[in-house]
Structure 1
Amino acid sequence: MARMTWTFSPERVDTPDATALRRDYFGDVAGRYYGRVLAEDEYDEEMIDEGLDLLAPPAGAFLVGRHEGKPAACGGVVLLDAERAELTRVFIRPAFRGTGGAGLLLNGLEDAARALGARRMVLNTRLDLVEARALYVRHGYAEIPAYCTGPYMEIWYGKEL
């Protein structure tokens, strides 16, 4: 049996694969929030595209993960200041979950943050995203005091890089 492989690489957020992954990410987290799959007319393009200019050097980075060549994952980092980067838009398509990609994606994003000069990674998420929270804790993230506020921010994590 052939071993399934993951590859991760920096990619512009506006490529077709990156755009589709960001849209799937939003559909997943918004759908969980509302308890149902979103209808096509419920996607808010402004929200999907918010802050994308920060997901490119020198302010940040965006990675696309491919499993056996198929676009399957994405995530970004944004520098908040000279020492901290924020993890954002971390997503594995459901069909590819459980294949080891999430940990590899986090490692790649942490490497990208280090390359930008960050010494600490922080993130915020919702309490109902239990799989994501478990992933972060499994990879050394610990709960920290809130460093920002906004809707959909219920718990904050950090990790020294």
Structure 2
Amino acid sequence: MITALPILVSFAAPASAEATSVSLRYYEDIVSRYHGRPALQQEIIAAQAGYASDDLVPPTGLLLLARQGSAVLGCAGMRIRLGDIGEVTRVFVEPAARGQGVGRLLMQNLESESRALGLTALRLDTRTDLIEARSLYASLGFIEGKAHNTDPYANHWFRKELR
């Protein structure tokens, strides 16, 4: 009987090779879904350039990677905003790992880390076409509400109180 390796979540530097690689796959996925076709390399690079990640490090934020052995299965980031609010970003699970609880594990770890930092709420935005993400956030207690930013690609805004 072969036992599957556990899925472990740990911190990563946004500029690390693993984080850079999973970030490119994240952007490839969301750009492709947005356009309804495979993303062009220049579209992926342009999308990534439009959203900084250098602040996903303490004390301004964090980036988590989910790993199974040497394979990176996904990521989730958080930026600390005014009012002790964490803004969730870059939630992504590799297509081959979807449906295995990786996104839930990343979000639960992100929430735990946010509580440890003394944050009072988490917020995030997403798009209509990211159906699985919206379903995950709702199942974790996030409530859809009014817009908290003007991101042109966001259609849905969620918030979860941590206290």
TM-score with structure 2 setting the length: 0.92
Aligned partner of 1:142: which letter?
A: I
Q: Is the 8 A contact 2:15 2:54 kept in 1?
A: no
1:1-161 mapped onto 2 (5 Å cutoff): 1=1, 2-45=3-46, 47-49=47-49, 50-161=51-162
8 Å contact from structure 2 (residues 74, 94) kept in 1:
yes
Alpha-carbon shift at residue 111 of structure 1 (Å):
1.7
Is 1:79–1:116's contact at 8 Å kept on the other side of the alignment? no
Deviation at 1:4, TM superposition (A): 4.1
Report the identity percentage.
36
Question: Please, which moves more after superposition, 15-24 or 2-11?
Answer: 2-11
- The RMSD of aligned alpha carbons is 1.4
Deviation track 1:130-157 (CA, whole Å, cap 9, x = no partner) reads 0100010111111111111121011100
More displaced stretch, 106-115 vs 135-144: 106-115
Give the C-alpha shift of residue 40 in structure 1. 2.3
User: Offset at 1:80?
Assistant: 1.3
Q: Structure 1 regions of 5+ residues with no counterpart? A: none
Structure 1 residue 83: deviation in Å? Answer: 1.9
TM superposition score normalised by structure 1: 0.93
CA distance in 1, matches of 2:31, 2:118: 32
Measure, in 2, the Cα distance between the counterparts of 1:17 and 1:108. Answer: 19
- How far, CA to CA, are the matches of 1:53 and 1:102 in structure 2? 22
Q: CA deviation at 1:38?
A: 1.0
Structure 2: 5+ residue runs without aligned partners? none
Question: In structure 2, the residue corresponding to 1:56 is in which secondary structure?
Answer: coil
Aligned residues: 160
Could you say what secondary structure the match of 2:54 adopts? helix
Q: Residues of 2 paired with 1:4 and 1:145: CA distance? A: 41
Tell whether the 8 Å contact from 2:31 to 2:43 is kept in structure 1 after alignment: no
Q: Secondary structure in 2 aligned to 1:73? A: strand
User: What amino acid maps onto 1:48 in structure 2?
Assistant: Q
